[in-house]
Chains A and B, each alone.
Chain A
Amino acid sequence: MMPFLLALLLSAVFAFGQTRVSLKAQLTADERIVAEEIRLKAQPDNPEVQASLASAFIQKVRETTDFAYLNRASVLVDRMLAADPQNYDGIRLSAEIETHRHNFPHAAELAARLLQRNPSDSGAMGMLGDCLMEMGQYDKAGKMYERMLASSPNLASYNRIAYQQFVSGESEKSIDWMGMAIQSGGVTPENLAWCLVEFGDMLFKTGRTADAHAAYLQAIEALPGYHRAYAALGREAAATGKFEEAEVDFMKAQAVIPLPEYAGSLEAIYTKLGDKAKSLEQRNLVDVIDKLARVNGEKGNRMIALVYANENREPQRAMAWMEGELDTRKDVYTYDALSWVLFRAGKQHEAETASRTALAMHTPEPMFLYHAGVIALAGGKNQDGRDLLKQALALNPEFSYPEAQDARERLN
C-alpha cells in the first residue's frame, strides 16, 4: 500500500509544480487581472504579485490594443525595479514592454541580460529572437528560435520558427510549422487566433485563398471579434473583387481598433464603390491618426508611411515616419515600406537599393515583388520589372487590391 500512496503523493507534487504557471495561463486576461488585483491589495509590495498583474496587463494589451494597460504594467514594473533593480521578473517584463513599444535594441539588450543569468529561459530566448528578427539579424534570430524550440516545443516556439522560415523564403516549411503551432494550442485564445491569422496570411500569399479564408474564420471562432481576422477577411474579399464584403469586414476591424492600414484599405474600397464622402472620411482619419501619433511622441511608423505611399501623398511625412522606424527596425518589411516610400518621393536609386534589401531573403511576399517590379519598371529595367510582377502574380493572382490588378495592367 505504502509504495502506491507515496507514488500518488509524489505524482501530485510533481503535477502541481508543473502546472502552477499553467493555472494562471489558462485564465483570460480579464480574469487574471481581477484575481491578481485582489492579491495585490493583500500584498501590495510583493514583487511576485506585481509581476503577475503586470503580465496580465500586457496580455490585455495584446487582446485589446489598449495601451492604457501597458502604462499600468509599466508603473508596476517601475515599482519592482525601484525596490530591486536586479529583479529578474522586473527585467523580463521591462523587456516585454519595450518590445511592445518597438524599442527593439533595448528590449534585445534586456533579454540578453536575462539569458546570461538564466540560459534556459525560453521566454527570454523568444524575446531576443523577436528583437533580432525586427533588427534584420535573421541568422541569429533563427539560431535563438532553434534554441527556444529545443527548450520549449510549443505554440510560442513553433510560430516563431514559422515566421522565421517564411521570411527566409521557406513557405512550405513555414506553413507546416504554423500548423504545428495551431495544433499545439494556445494558453490564451488570442495566441491561437494570432497564429490562425498568420497561418491564413501565409496560405493567402502563396495562392491558397480558400484555405486562408477557413483559417481566418477559425480565428474569429477562437477569439470572437478579433480585428486582425476581420481585416484579413477584408483584404481577401477586396482582392477577389467582393468590395461590399470587404467594406463590412474592414469596418468590423476598425470598430475595434482604428489602425491606419484599415483606414487606408477602406479609403481604397470606398473609392472603388464610388462613395467619395466615405473615402474622404477615411483619408482624414489617417491624418488624425498621424497627428495623434506625433503628439504622443511616436518617432517611427511604417504603417502610416505605407498608407501615405499607397495613396501617393505626404511624401515628407512618410519619409519622416520611415526614418524613425529605421532607427529601431531593419527587417525586410521595413525595407519594403522604405522602398515604396522612396519611390513615391521620387528617389529612384535609393528605392531600388531598399527594394533589393527587401528581396534579399526571398520572402514569398507578393507585395514585395509588386513594389520591386514597379520600381524596376520605373527605372527602365523592363525585363526585371516584368519578371518581378509575374512572380508576384504567380504566388497569388489576386494577391491584393488594387495592386494585383495594376500588376496585370502593367504586364499587358
Chain B
Amino acid sequence: MTGRIGIFALALPIALAAHPMGNFSVSHYSRLHFKSGAVEVTYVLDLAEIPAFQLLGNWQIDWKNQDDLSAKSTQQAPEWLDNVDLMQAGRRLPLHIQFVQPRATEGAGGLPVLRIAVQASAVVKPGDVTYEDRNFPGRAGWKEIVIDHDSGVAIAKSSQSVTDISKALTVYPTDPGINQPQDLTAQVDGYTVRPVTAPVATSSRHVTELPAPVAPAPVTESRPFSQRSSQGPGAVVRGDFLSKMLQRKQLGGGLLLLGIFAAFGLGAMHALSPGHGKTIVAAYLVGSRGTLKHAGLLGFTVTFTHTFTVFLIGLGTLFFQQYFVAEKVVSVLGTVSGLSIVSVGLFLLYQRSKSLMEGAGVHLHSHEGYFHSHDVQPRRTRIAELRAAESLVDDGLVHSHGGSTHSHVIEGEITPGSLIALGISGGIVPCPSALILMLSAIALGRPAVGLILLVAFSTGLALVLMACGAVAIYAKSLMPRSEGFTRRPLLRLIPVFSAVVVICLGLVMTGVSAGWVQSLRFLS
C-alpha cells in the first residue's frame, strides 16, 4: 500500500541530471532507408545510467575500455536485432549487421551512459513492409522511427516520415511543444523500385503520404490511435464475412448482394439484443391509436436516423480522429436519445392524464342517450378524429352505437412529431457493429459500399422494431371488445401506464448512457 490515485509511489528526482530522458530510460531510434532492392536499418539504443549499469554488469567490463565495449556490443547486437521484426508478406526479412558503434560517456554520479548504434541491411522486394522493435518493452524513453528512401525508389505511404527529431538520439528537445515520439512499430506501403522525380514528402509524423508514381496512393489511414499498433490496416472488423468482403480487391454484383443480405440479417439480429427501444415502441403503440402505418413510419425514421448517424460518426472519426472518440459520441447520443424519450413520455403522460381526468368528469354518458359527450379531447380536430376513427374501428376498445364511434379507453394521439421523435430516439444511437462496419469501409476506401451495407443493416434493425410494434398492435386487437370490459378502470389506465413505462425506460437509458447507472448492475 503506497498511496492512491494522484500519488506516485516513488519520489523521483526533482531535476533529472545527466540523461534528459531520466536515469532509467532506454531510448530507441530506427531509421529505415529504402534503396533499390534493399533497406538499410540504423538501429540506435541509448541506455541511461541504470540500464547502462545493468548491461555493463552483465558484460562485466570496464566501460572506459573501448575495445571491450566494442567486442561486447558486437556480440550483443544480433540478440537485439532478433527482437526487431522487419516483415514482408508474412515473412521475416533477415537483417545483416554491417557494423556496431558503441559509445560510453559519463553521466550522473560518474556513472556511464551508453549509446550503441547498429547498422544493418536486408533484401526487400517491392510491396508492403512492416517493422517492430520489441527490445526493452515498457521501458520509458524516446522512441523514434524515421523512414526515408533513395530517389530511385518510391513509397506510396508510410506511418512515419523523414523527420529526424532527435538526430539519431543525439539531441533530445525538451520543449513541451515538441512531441516525444513513442513509436516502436512502422508500416511502409507500396515500396517500388521505379525511379521517381518528385522529392520526398515530409508531412505529419504519424501518417505520411509519399509520392507514388506507379500505383495511386490509397486513402489516408483512418484507424483510431488505439488500433494502430494492435491491428493491421483495414482489419477493423476482425474475421467476419463483411470485413473480409470489404477487403477484397474486386467486388462483384453477386458478392455485394450477398453482403447486403448479410448486413440486413445482422441488423435484424442485432435489434433483437437488449436496448434497441423495442419495449418503448411497443409501449407507445399500445397506449396510442397505433396502426401498421405508424409502425412503418417509425421503422423508416429509425432506418434513416441510424444510417445518417453512423455515416456522420464515420466521417467524424476519419477527419477529426485526434479530437473525436467514436465510443464517447455513442454514449453522448445515448444520453440524447434517452432524454428525448423521457420528453416524449412526459408529453404522452400529460396528454393521457389530462384525457383521463377530463374523461372522468365529462365522459359520464349513457348509451341510452341521456348524456353523451365526445369532448374528452377538446383539442382534437374533427377531421383528425374522423381519420382516426376509420383506423380504429378494428380496435377492440372502440365500438359504435347509433352511427357514432367512440372509445371508452383514454388513448393518446399519434402525432407525426411524437412518432418522428421516437424514431429518431430509436435510431440515433448507432450500433457498434454498424459503426465498425462503416469505419472499416471508410478505412479501406469504400465509403459507398459501406453506406449500402449500412442501409441494409439499418433496414434489418428497423424491420424488427416495426415487427415489435405490429405485434403490440395485434396483441391489442385481441383484447375483448365488450363495453363492460373496455369501461374497466384498470383498462382505462393502460395508456397512462404505458406513458410511465416510456418515461422509465428513457430515464434508464439516459442514466446508463451518461454513466450514472451501471447497466449490468441495473440489469442484475
Judged by a CB distance under 8 angstroms, whether A238 is at the interface is: no
Is the beta-carbon distance between B14 and A66 smaller than 8 angstroms? no
**Of A9-17, A352-360, A369-377, A398-406, the one with at least 4 CB within 8 A of chain B:** A9-17
Closest to A227 in B: B138
Judged by a CB distance under 8 angstroms, whether A284 is at the interface is: yes
In the complex, A38 Cα to B506 Cα: how many Å? 39
Q: Given A37-B179, A67-B22, A73-B176, are A8 and B325 also a contact pair (CB < 8 Å)?
A: no
A71 to chain B: which residues have CB within 8 Å?
15-16, 174
Mostly helix, strand, loop or mixed at chain B's interface? loop
B6 to chain A: which residues have CB within 8 Å?
96, 99, 126-127, 130, 156
In the complex, A294 Cα to B18 Cα: how many Å? 13
Q: Mark B309-330, 1 if CB is under 8 A from A, else 0.
A: 0000000000000111101100
Is the beta-carbon distance between A101 and B11 smaller than 8 angstroms? yes
Q: Which residue of A1, A57, A183, A228 contacts B417 across the interface (Cβ within 8 Å)?
A: A1
Is the beta-carbon distance between B521 and A183 smaller than 8 angstroms? yes
Judged by a CB distance under 8 angstroms, whether A297 is at the interface is: yes
Is the beta-carbon distance between B343 and A7 smaller than 8 angstroms? yes
Q: Which residue of B1, B11, B14 contacts A365 across the interface (Cβ within 8 Å)?
A: B1
Q: Mark B104-118, 1 if CB is under 8 A from A, else 0.
A: 000011010000000
B13 to chain A: which residues have CB within 8 Å?
67, 292-293, 296-298
In the complex, A56 Cα to B469 Cα: how many Å? 48
Is the beta-carbon distance between A4 and B340 smaller than 8 angstroms? yes
In the complex, A150 Cα to B296 Cα: how many Å? 47
Judged by a CB distance under 8 angstroms, whether B188 is at the interface is: no
Is the beta-carbon distance between A34 and B206 smaller than 8 angstroms? yes
B333 to chain A: which residues have CB within 8 Å?
15
Judged by a CB distance under 8 angstroms, whether B331 is at the interface is: yes
B25 to chain A: which residues have CB within 8 Å?
66, 68
Write the nearest CB–CB distance from B335 to chain A, whole angstroms. 4
Q: List which B281-320 residues lie within 8 A (CB) of chain A.
A: none
Is the beta-carbon distance between B15 and A288 smaller than 8 angstroms? no
Judged by a CB distance under 8 angstroms, whether B418 is at the interface is: yes
B18 to chain A: which residues have CB within 8 Å?
295
In the complex, A15 Cα to B20 Cα: how many Å? 42
In the complex, A205 Cα to B331 Cα: how many Å? 38
B10 to chain A: which residues have CB within 8 Å?
65, 259, 301, 303
Write the nearest CB–CB distance from B411 to chain A, whole angstroms. 19
Closest to B331 in A: A19
A395 to chain B: which residues have CB within 8 Å?
none
In the complex, A195 Cα to B5 Cα: how many Å? 8
Is the beta-carbon distance between B5 and A160 smaller than 8 angstroms? yes
Chain B positions near chain A (C-beta within 8 angstroms)? 1-18, 20-25, 49-51, 53-54, 57, 108-109, 111, 136-141, 174-180, 182, 206, 225-226, 322-325, 327-328, 331-333, 335-336, 339-340, 343-344, 347, 415-418, 420-421, 424, 514, 518, 521
A sample of 18 inter-chain contacts (CB < 8 A) reads A1-B421, A3-B347, A4-B421, A7-B421, A26-B328, A27-B225, A31-B226, A40-B177, A66-B21, A69-B180, A127-B6, A160-B5, A163-B3, A183-B518, A183-B521, A184-B518, A257-B139, A292-B23
